[in-house]
Amino acid sequence: MTDALPVNDYVRKILDARVYDAAVVTPLDPMRRLSRRLGCDALLKREDLQPVFSFKIRGAYNKAARLDAPALARGLICASAGNHAQGVALSAQKLGARAVIVMPVTTPQIKIDAVRHLGGEIVLKGDAFDEAYAHARALEAEQGLTFLHPFDDPDVIAGQGTIGVEILQQHPGPVEAIFVPVGGGGLAAGVAAYVKFLRPETKVIGVEPVEAACMKEAIAAGRRVELPRVGLFADGVAVRQAGEETFRLCRDLLDDVLLCDTDAICAAVKDIFEDTRVIAEPAGALSLAGLKAYAAEHPARTGALIAIASGANMNFDRLRHVAERAEIGEAHEILLGVAIPETRGSYRAFIERLGRRVITEFNYRYAGPGDAHVFVGLRLRDARAEKPKLVAELKSMGYGVLDMSADETAKLHVRYMVGGRAGALLPERVLRCEFPERPGALSDFLDCLGTDFNITLFHYRNHGADYGRVLFGVEAGEKDRARLDDRLARLGYPYEDETDNPAYHMFLKG
């Protein structure tokens, strides 16, 4: 990193940024449907309309265009799984330079093809960004290439900050808050530097996924922290550690950092589609999820709320997962596990007691003469208000009720496995892990477990992301726990123990 720049210097760099040879001025569109629903003036800054469908072209081109002739002639290199890669590739194409793009082997083909179409030389290395980054740095040294950092660089930050210039020009009226997605922090730092200088009364609020909150953790700790792992659903912001310079600026300039879960992000993807007919990528909808959370908590407002739609490089296969989770994120759907008597007429009686509510899912399989366990999804107008009343009503009728609306294992796996009860088993341990989408991943998993653990349960579903999610069980008692943990640690896949998960006990445990 270079020496830290004062905010005034960043404002000058932003106003002097060279972005429009490659980028375009994007519109600030009203979200009319959402504004009516939230009772506020909600607007969307449409960075999905850039030539590479992401804001990343701004910072990448500003950095590349300011390189001296020898640095440009040596060629550019970066590590990225998507949007920054396309930004660097297009910048190199515009400037007549070579571009080497190092991407994880798990990168979806749609993004690899996009970079190749722009003339980038693709090198696939590692399962995740960290391995790709290390390899890019090694190639930089070996071949004398010029490295373009995705966020922790003053020229990249300044390029992203031009979004702040456009927002204030396009909306001269009062703005209460601007919501910015945060990964490494380049976009948030650039926008905050300009907006807080010109309109200090306007809040600039960062938004991160719950599973990748590197900036919020860093600000809380007063120093940069490295997360042990990050969730990859919003892959565009799946960063384990904020940048050095971006942390300094965000710590001093952001008014807050909000966290949003997967369901809220999926609901925001749907909101953007309903107002614009565009499908944002999860990271691209993240800031709108934050805007919605803020609007719910702050009914008294003094100006517009603006979210930056940072990108639309959505892998098509991921849409099924988004559609499944959007209803829950909008508080329109709940998932319940209900125990009903396994007697004649009880099934029909239960359906009648649900009334005229829309049933979105109903899974059941006979498992014996005791209670029957039903996995049921219901669409409600306002789940937050209606769910407690419904649960209390069902319990008062003698039904056992388990609310699974916030249970990741239930939503990702159990709903597809209802009826798969095992017979008599020795002690079973159930775990949930993220599984890299690459050739040989399953074989590596099985080889690591070896032949001395009996697999009792396995559910995998491709969600169109870089990582799949797996629920698996093994026959293992307390004496086997340390040995199994050691095997899993050697494998290196992040995992959670779900042996005590109530949805597993209700529907799958033998």
Structure tokens at 58: 């701004």
Question: Looking at beta carbons, which pairs linking 260-263 to residues 24 or more positions away fall under 8 Å?
Answer: 260/207, 260/208, 260/209, 260/210, 260/286, 260/289, 260/290, 260/293, 261/209, 261/210, 261/329, 262/209, 262/210, 262/211, 262/231, 262/233, 262/325, 262/329, 263/325, 263/326, 263/328, 263/329
Cα 439 from Cα 48, distance rounded (Å): 31
The packing angle between helices 262-276 and 282-297, to 10°, is: 100
Structure tokens at 278: 């565009």
Using the structure block, give the residue that is written with the tokens 């007063």.
Answer: 222
The 10 Å CB-count burial string (b at 16+, else e) for 15-32 is eebbbeebbeebebbebe
Amino acid at 157: I
Cα 276 from Cα 298, distance rounded (Å): 25
398 Rama sector, left if φ>0, alpha if ψ -120 to 50, beta otherwise: left
Q: How many CB atoms lie within 10 A of CB 9?
A: 13
Cα 75 from Cα 73, distance rounded (Å): 5
Check: CB of residue 310 under 8 Å from CB of residue 47: yes
Strands (E) across 317-369 are located at: 333-341, 358-363
Is residue 196 part of the annotated active site? The answer reads no
Cα 230 from Cα 213, distance rounded (Å): 8
Cα 268 from Cα 428, distance rounded (Å): 38
Check: CB of residue 302 under 8 Å from CB of residue 201: no
Is residue 203 part of the annotated active site? The answer reads no
Candidates 430, 450, 437, 439; CA nearest to 491 is 450
Catalytic residue among 56, 196, 292, 411: 56
Cα 67 from Cα 64, distance rounded (Å): 5
Can you give the C-alpha Rg of the chain in angstroms?
25
Catalytic residue among 13, 80, 310, 411: 310
Cα 152 from Cα 167, distance rounded (Å): 23
| Active site amino acids | 56, 310
